[in-house]
Structure 1
Amino acid sequence: MPFLAEKTFKIPNKDILSWIFDEQRHDVDKPIYIEAADPSQSISSRQAQSLIRKLIAGFRAHGVKPGDCVCIHSFNSIYYPILFLAIVGCGAVFAGTNPSYTPFELVHHFRTARVNFVITEPEMLAEVKNAAKETGIPSSEILIFDVQKQDVPSGFSSWSTLLTHGEEDWIRFDDEQLSKNTTAARLFSSGTTGLPKAAVLTHQTFVAQHTLSYEAEPPVMQIIRLCYLPMYHAAMVPLTHVSPLRAYFPTYIMRRFELEPFLSHVSRYHISELIVVPPVALAIIKTPSASKYSFENLKWVGCGAAPLALENQLALQKVLGPQTIVVQGWGMTETCCIAMRFVGHERDDTGSVGRPMYNLDLKLIDDEDQDITAYDTRGELCIRGPSIIPGYFDNPEANANSFTDDGYFKTGDIMYCSGSTKKWYIVDRKKELIKIRGFQVAPGEIEAVLLSHPQVLDAAVIGIRKPSEPDENEHPRAYVVRRPGPEGDAVNEELLKSYCSSRLAKFKEITGGIQFIDVMPRNPTGKILKRVLRDMAKTELSAGGPRI
């Protein structure tokens, strides 16, 4: 029998904006979104609602129709959540992309999410124009997000022109089927394998995520947050674009992460809750300057995106002080961020990711997809509930492979539940994703670039950890079969790394090295045996093998 939800909580059926704004119980004139670098720049709930209504009118005047997909390609800003809610409010669909992406990567994302309009900063316009041209997006559908007071390039219009068409109301509903079936966002995930896919997040997904996180089990303190992770990231979309306005969580926003300003802001603005990823946790642990700052108001820190070694969790606890609870949680794009966590004042020194939220059913399966659900038994975690995505956009094959017959999403994480404490633990990963500084990198994405080189016959990519590095960061390592002949023989590691770097974002560089082999190990059906490659890598690294 599955681990069925022991507790349930009613999920509202309203559209996101009505649910946020129609029942606000806080002072609507207090700042909610604040620029961390300049706190005089802020947006209150009243201002947010007016801006959103103006943007909705502007989007409609610009030709955005319900169901169209609008992509934001920029760094963080206090106006980013406002744009998100306006996109959703006019019936369109939000997509966000990494501002470091190359045109090659943007083409894939624009096509996969079926993007119709793009809002981007002028510094990123060249890459967006190249990708837009290849995907059929007219230049007239690219608006400039000049929030840093940059010059607007000739031939393009500022996003602020959207604010000049009066105000219009958002699309409203209070209906369970509409809430379940109306898409609000297409967020990118690699799922368990393959190239990045567009996960469909509906109005219900977002409403359920917040309701189960903060209303079924209310926080025991006033939440004041610092947003420093990128706002397109699956963890940040619900946490920064939805929850602050619903529950009055003042949120200070950094344009991008820098360690010293980050530490200063946590101290200066009395940040009470932080979400961190392992690389940030390790940076805090390792920097001597952490001792210069006060963390007395920081009451709760949750680490996610990738497992944090227990010794590092305890080290972070020591740096921040006894007043701060440091715990881990678990979630993914497909669960609308968090799905397991610790609540209230509970502490943990075992490395657990906590317990599931209300309304979520869990089960464990073996390699044959057979139910093996039992305490203290390892298996692939499967999950279902109102905050779980209904599927991937326009990808029936991925949907067929990602869900069980009884509606559970197969996470690819190998976990178990302690029979004595009911805490959950991650022990392995079935899926192939490589975790790099909190980002997910699909091996297939790098493999596709390698295979596009005319002298590469076969390629496979795995994630490795370098023995010289004590952290949890992984590095992509490629195994390549060259075409026979002098031209193939001339292809070396440096050439292939350069080839990939020109087509992929910097964090996807093949920092684990490239190993040339004669034959790719495959099973009788042709599937690459990555287990064999991982064993090869362990042997090579332990022997001091190929340079990485």
Structure 2
Amino acid sequence: MVFFPLTHQIPIPNKDIISWIFDDPKYYQDEPMYIDAQTPSHSISLSQARILVKKLIAGFHSAGLQKGDCVCIHSFNDIHYPILVLGIIAAGGVFTGTNPSYTPFELTHHIQTADVRFVVTQPEMVGSVLEVAGTCKIGKERIWVFDVLGEEVPDGLRSWRSLLGVGERGWEGFDDEVMAGDVVAARLFSSGTTGFPKAVDISHRNLVAQHVLTQEINKKPWKQIRLFCLPMFHVAAVPIIHTSVLKAGAPAVIMLRFDLAQYLEATDRFAITEWYMVPPMVIAIVMSPLAKNYSLRSVRNVSIGAAPLSRESQRALKGLLDERAIVTHTLKTTIQRASVASYQIPKQNHKLIDDNGNEITTYDTPGERKPPSLFTTTPNQAPVYIRGPTVIKSYYKNAHATSQTLTPTSSLATGDIVYCSSTSQEWYHIDRKKELIKVRGFQVAPPEIESVLLSHPGILDAAVIGVKIRGEECPRAYVVRRPGRQWEALGEKEVRRWCEVRLARLGRF
């Protein structure tokens, strides 16, 4: 059963991502789009970005980049990072990004798995790149130093600015449905919940569709000004910061990394309207007295993802913002670039498949508007399968992983446990399949227990895992006491009593 089949079609352009961004802008092209939070005079407009991209095309081609070659950026955040990404794609290459904190082992795995041929790295990471370059068969002539702060370039290497001194060259665009789905723009990595992280190819069409379906269907009634500190190599950053900023004309204030005081100050100073966050950022803000020292009333939209976050924390955050602010908690996957279960996205079909491979063809109980506790099994909650233009074609050079994730009809097994309401026509996300704990045959969700624990005034943080006791899986909780003399005596017995009156027996530890 396909839930809520579409009554109309949403056109997705078949253009390459570069032409789609630069060919027909709907805003003033000299307005700063990428703005340095520390030094706002350092900025890049659409007009400047277009010129830089053309220079990078000429530079990369002069260096020997061929169509389909993968280029790795090993760097912290910077306003020039997205320009490098677009330059790589415009030159016919494939972008991949790595975590600057990677060990040599992790960096080697990423470079070899993605078939990286060129690397752009910040000066402080040159040592680790050179350490693995030999193993990965990458010569110094294919390594550039991303000296954006004017740092000294080590002997034997070249600055990335040398790529800008070869001239300008246009990109080879296309407007073809097959090419849009087949030509790879980025090679991102899955979380590696089963083994090492795996490379996932993201097409031009995936990126275009991600923007159209999440940004253009429902236009924002406010001026979009984004504050961005999530790492730019991360899968969540790619559509938000590397493509949507210039397409939408939505300025982004860029931070090197998250710093609580600087984040709050930048929100106030730049009248930020959109936040993109992970749960630890939310917890830091709602738990800190600093939040009361700044005006956060300009924020209209908050998108939180990557990990579970309690309902109480979301409410606390919303209490700091304007009453019109929208706070959305969304879990996404690398291989399905749009939201899985927060709302129905046009041009995507959803199916529920149980553990036996049978399709669920009924809605949840009529009138049900909130997710049931997982301690009382709901028969029609199941892993969701999704198909649409944001779903990838395959893992890179990994047929086994592809067959385990995608059906023959290109439906993606998300691993998200959800159910669908017949009355509200909303999807309710319960948990990730691999994170559920099976207690005597019943599914128990760790976030549900964690939410109860975090509602105790003396508990600062909590985590719940599954452990084997006499061959049976049971939940085990780890908690952090809140600082203060009044909580020094808080112990296991009191925490157990707190949970016993709030959780069904299966959820107790």
Same fold (TM over 0.5): yes
State the distance in 1 between where 2:476 and 2:223 align: 48
Deviations 1:308-333 (A, max 9, x none): 21111111111224242222233221
- SS of the residue corresponding to residue 223 of structure 1 reads coil
From the superposition, tell whether residues 259 and 372 of structure 1 become closer, same or farther in structure 2 (CA, over 3 Å).
same
Alignment-derived partner of residue 2 in structure 1 = 2
Alignment-derived partner of residue 111 in structure 1 = 112
The code of the aligned residue for 1:252 comes to: V
- SS of the residue corresponding to residue 226 of structure 1 reads strand
The code of the aligned residue for 2:105 comes to: F
Trace 1:4-153 onto structure 2 (pairs within 5 A).
Answer: 5-6=5-6, 7-153=8-154
Alignment-derived partner of residue 197 in structure 2 = 196
Deviations 1:452-471 (A, max 9, x none): xxxxxxxxxx9997998767
> Could you tell me how far 1:373 is from its partner in structure 2?
4.1
> Could you tell me how far 1:233 is from its partner in structure 2?
1.0
State the distance in 2 between where 1:69 and 1:198 align: 12
Q: CA RMSD in A?
A: 2.8
Trace 1:330-369 onto structure 2 (pairs within 5 A).
Answer: 330-336=331-337, 338-340=338-340, 354-369=342-357
Q: Is the 8 A contact 2:36 2:42 kept in 1?
A: yes
Q: Is the 8 A contact 1:278 1:472 kept in 2?
A: no
- SS of the residue corresponding to residue 35 of structure 2 reads strand
The code of the aligned residue for 1:392 comes to: Y
Q: After the TM superposition, list the runs of 4 or more consecutive aligned residues in structure 1 that deviate by more than 4 angstroms.
A: 462-477, 530-534, 536-544
TM score, norm. by length of structure 1: 0.78
> Could you tell me how far 1:14 is from its partner in structure 2?
0.6
> Could you tell me how far 1:301 is from its partner in structure 2?
1.2
Q: Is the 8 A contact 2:231 2:237 kept in 1?
A: yes
Q: Is the 8 A contact 2:462 2:478 kept in 1?
A: no
From the superposition, tell whether residues 315 and 168 of structure 1 become closer, same or farther in structure 2 (CA, over 3 Å).
same
> Could you tell me how far 1:536 is from its partner in structure 2?
7.5
Alignment-derived partner of residue 402 in structure 2 = 399
State the distance in 2 between where 1:50 and 1:5 align: 43
State the distance in 1 between where 2:87 and 2:465 align: 38
The code of the aligned residue for 1:216 comes to: I
Trace 1:90-489 onto structure 2 (pairs within 5 A).
Answer: 90-190=91-191, 193-336=194-337, 338-340=338-340, 354-376=342-364, 377-431=380-434
Report how many aligned residue pairs link the two structures: 454
Deviations 1:322-358 (A, max 9, x none): 242222233221122x325xxxxxxxxxxxx531211
Alignment-derived partner of residue 510 in structure 1 = none
Deviations 1:234-279 (A, max 9, x none): 1111111101111100111001111110111111101111121111
> Could you tell me how far 1:146 is from its partner in structure 2?
0.6
The code of the aligned residue for 1:49 comes to: R
From the superposition, tell whether residues 468 and 142 of structure 1 become closer, same or farther in structure 2 (CA, over 3 Å).
farther
Deviations 1:356-390 (A, max 9, x none): 21111111111122211432221001111001111
Unmatched runs of 5 consecutive residues or more in structure 2: 365-379, 437-445, 480-490, 496-509
The code of the aligned residue for 1:27 comes to: Y
Q: Is the 8 A contact 1:416 1:426 kept in 2?
A: yes
> Could you tell me how far 1:107 is from its partner in structure 2?
0.8
Deviations 1:178-228 (A, max 9, x none): 000000001111365222011110000001110111222222222110111
- SS of the residue corresponding to residue 148 of structure 2 reads coil
Q: Is the 8 A contact 2:463 2:478 kept in 1?
A: no
Q: Is the 8 A contact 1:16 1:203 kept in 2?
A: yes
- SS of the residue corresponding to residue 149 of structure 1 reads coil
State the distance in 2 between where 1:49 and 1:296 align: 34
With 142-151 and 126-135 compared, the bigger mean Cα shift is at 126-135
State the distance in 1 between where 2:142 and 2:408 align: 41
The code of the aligned residue for 1:363 comes to: K
- SS of the residue corresponding to residue 474 of structure 2 reads helix
Q: Is the 8 A contact 1:5 1:361 kept in 2?
A: yes
Structure 1 residue 535 and structure 2 residue 493: aligned?
no
